[in-house]
Structure 1
Amino acid sequence: MQEYVIIVAGGTGSRMKSDIPKQFIPVNGVPVLMHTLSAFRSYSKDLSIILVLPENQFAYWKTLCVQQFFDEPYLLVAGGATRFESVKNGLRTIESQEALVAVHDGVRPVISREIIARAFSTAALHGTSVVSVPLKDSIRWVKESGENSTLDRSSVRLIQTPQTFRLDWMKHAFDQPFQEHFTDCASVLESAGYPIRLIEGSYRNIKITTSEDLALAETYLKQI
């Protein structure tokens, strides 16, 4: 079955106090987004990669590709106002009738071939596959009143990407109207009635949001 990945990158870098969108910030001399695309290409030369970026970032990205001699094959698609719309735009480009589609954050460059492979194989068996890790810290539930109580961290997971699904399930789920609680693809599929299968991820599979994340990514990528 054909495999696709939609890599979504629409960050601004505001939390890093950077003028450069975080997906373009260099890590070990290479923009974050190029590390991410290369990780998926290393998984399979036959994987179809769809890169979704804000249209006003196309020119800058293409300039970076020329400067870095980056020639990995991919399809470039304009993003929407929300992550939901951006993924939907990526889905519209897929003409296959049967396929598996992973969706991955462009600023998660430290993703292993093993996790990517497990995500696709699990989705092939069960229709959905969402990467997650257990919590390390204690957590508390805080009410609007300010009252708070402890929660059992063993029953909670931190959700990562890739999130991988059957194409027909995705297209059906993304036909529904956008809702505010659609923070990731899993919430969209769940809202459409599909079960979500969790698989084990990695604490190294960080989403680069802050300067501290950037420092960690630099260290992890040097070890690959």
Structure 2
Amino acid sequence: MGNRKKTAIIVAGGSGSRMQSAIPKQFMDLAGKPVLYHTITAFTEAYPDIEIVLVLPEQHISYVNSVLQAFDNVPAITMVRGGETRFHSVKNGLQQVKGDGVVFVHDGVRPLVSPALIRTCYEAAFSHGSAIPVIDMKDSIREINGEHNRAVDRECFRIVQTPQTFVSSLILPAFEQPYDPLFTDEATVVEHFGHFVHLVQGEESNLKITRPLDLLLAKAFLDLRG
């Protein structure tokens, strides 16, 4: 099972606007290394033979050198230009996937994903066709409908993370569908194509860095890992 071809499509299309920074958030410093360095390293530690496809806006390609210079041994990385939406960016990345295998699609700004979770997603996708990491909701939530609102049972909901993981024979044809604005992630694309998705337990530390506080939290988690 571990010998099946593996491809990680890392989507790194964010800007630094909410981080109050001119530097795109995926290239900002986290514990002395760019955020993307930590993201890529998690996948290469999980599977040294994995192929990395980095999808990013053309104007951000000049930043990639700062990431590559952080590695002692630079992994093989294919760079692909992003598209108008996440769907189109992932579709561009999927063009690099040839033959049967397992495909991970991961947010570049989730640098704390553990190699253990990556391996869990791989094994579940191999068995079920897909693996979507999720975590429980801890807060009370309410549904808003116009001027009205009502409490809903949080046990019926989960927070979705990445890497969203699929066998290539499932995700590749799903992304041949016409784009729909309801495609918010890869799971929605695959569901729309007629497949159920399989959920696995995610990690609280697998946070998405979007605001300055998130960078501080990520640093704290790294410190705890030692």
Gaps of at least 5 residues in structure 2 are: none
- Per-residue CA shift, 1:147-183, capped at 9, x if unaligned? 0000000010000001001111111110011111111
How many residues of Structure 1 are paired with residues of Structure 2 in the alignment?
222
1:53-132 to 2 correspondence within 5 Å?
A: 53-66=56-69, 71-96=74-99, 98-132=100-134
CA contact (8 A) 2:132 2:187 kept: yes
C-alpha distance in 1, partners of 2:71/2:165?
A: 30
**Separation in structure 1 between the aligned mates of residue 66 and residue 45 of structure 2, nearest angstrom:** 23
1:111-190 matches, cutoff 5 A: 111-144=113-146, 146-190=147-191
Partner of 1:24: 27
Amino acid in the other structure paired with 1:58: I
Q: Which amino acid aligns with 1:47?
A: I
Deviation of the 1:83 alpha carbon: 0.7
- Residues 68 and 164 (structure 1), Cα distance of their counterparts in 2 relative to 1, 3 Å cut: closer
SS of residue in 2 equivalent to 1:50: strand
> Is the contact made by 1:30 and 1:68 (CA closer than 8 Å) also made in structure 2?
no
Q: 1:150 to 1:188 in 2, by over 3 A?
A: same
Contact 2:27/2:63 (8 A) holds in 1 = no
For 1:103, the aligned partner's letter is: V
Q: CA deviation at 1:68?
A: 6.3
For structure 1, which runs of at least 5 residues remain unmatched after alignment?
Answer: none
Is 1:50 aligned with 2:53? yes
Runs of 4+ deviating beyond 4 Å: 67-70
Identity of aligned residues (%): 42
**Normalising by the residue count of structure 2, what TM-score does the alignment of the two structures yield?**
0.95
Query: Normalising to structure 1: TM-score of the pair?
Result: 0.95
RMSD: 1.3
Answer yes or no: is the 8 Å Cα contact 2:9–2:103 preserved in 1: yes
Structure 1: which amino acid aligns with 2:104? A
Instruction: Rate the CA distance shift 1:3–1:65 in 2: closer, same or farther, 3 A.
Output: closer
Deviations 1:90-110 (A, max 9, x none): 1111122x1110100000000
Letter in 2 for 1:190: E
Q: Deviations over 1:25-74 (max 9, x none)?
A: 10111110111001111111111111111111112212453366672222
Task: Provide closer, same or farther for how the CA distance between residues 5 and 134 of structure 1 changes in structure 2, counting only shifts above 3 A.
Answer: same
